[in-house]
Chains A and B, each alone.
Chain A
Amino acid sequence: NAGVTQTPKFRVLKTGQSMTLLCAQDMNHEYMYWYRQDPGMGLRLIHYSVGEGTTAKGEVPDGYNVSRLKKQNFLLGLESAAPSQTSVYFCASSYVPGIAYEQYFGPGTRLTVT
């Protein structure tokens, strides 16, 4: 039981390049989330999904896209990376609220955009 895993762990991009971050969970959770964490800013929600085939915008969605084609996977895409997207990205998952509310986090992806 791996919990929540993220690929890759580190990445360096040049401005304008694109990439996809993969999040996978093996806990059969319905809800999945993408956050970014910047120094002094806490965790900010980028996009989230309440089930397979659904996605919704969070607090800071601009410049990112997501897809949830399979229940266990949640992909975060950067179409044209910018230096402002340099951050640590965390994926999380949870059961349906009302059953349990805590979110389980992956180990993070450190992204640097030069």
Chain B
Amino acid sequence: EDKVVQSPLSLVVHEGDTVTLNCSYEVTNFRSLLWYKQEKKAPTFLFMLTSSGIEKKSGRLSSILDKKELSSILNITATQTGDSAIYLCAVGMNYGGSQGNLIFGKGTKLSVKP
């Protein structure tokens, strides 16, 4: 059975801390791994990682894909209260008519305290 596992499920840090969120996967025909940020409403897209793009960075956020270990990490440096959110990891696969489908992990709830 295809699955995506995120850890930790929740995390509380103070402003200025650096955090690392983890995502591991067991899927057939891996195509891509995506990170989303979900505040109060809709998940918003952060990064997509594939075999041809295993590292992405945007400001204080960065992500790395380790295809050998079947995992990814999302790093946030110098955290701010605005980083408080649920961070979702999702994996896309290559097969048939459902090649657009994503399997989501349960998310990591990050709380950044002032």
Contact = CB atoms under 8 A, between A and B. Distances in A.
Chain A CB count within 10 A is highest, among B32, B34, B41, B48, for B41
A101 B43 contact: no
Nearest to B46: A102
B105 A108 contact: no
A101 B100 contact: yes
A78 B45 CA distance: 29
B88 A43 contact: yes
Contacts of B41: 107-108
Contacts of B101: 33, 45, 48, 58
Interface in B82-112: 88, 90, 92, 97-102, 104-107
Given A90-B42, A102-B48, A107-B41, A97 B92 contact: yes
Nearest to A91: B42
Chain B CB count within 10 A is highest, among A35, A105, A106, for A105
15 contacts: A31-B100, A41-B106, A42-B88, A42-B105, A42-B106, A43-B43, A43-B104, A45-B101, A90-B43, A96-B100, A97-B92, A101-B48, A102-B34, A103-B100, A108-B42
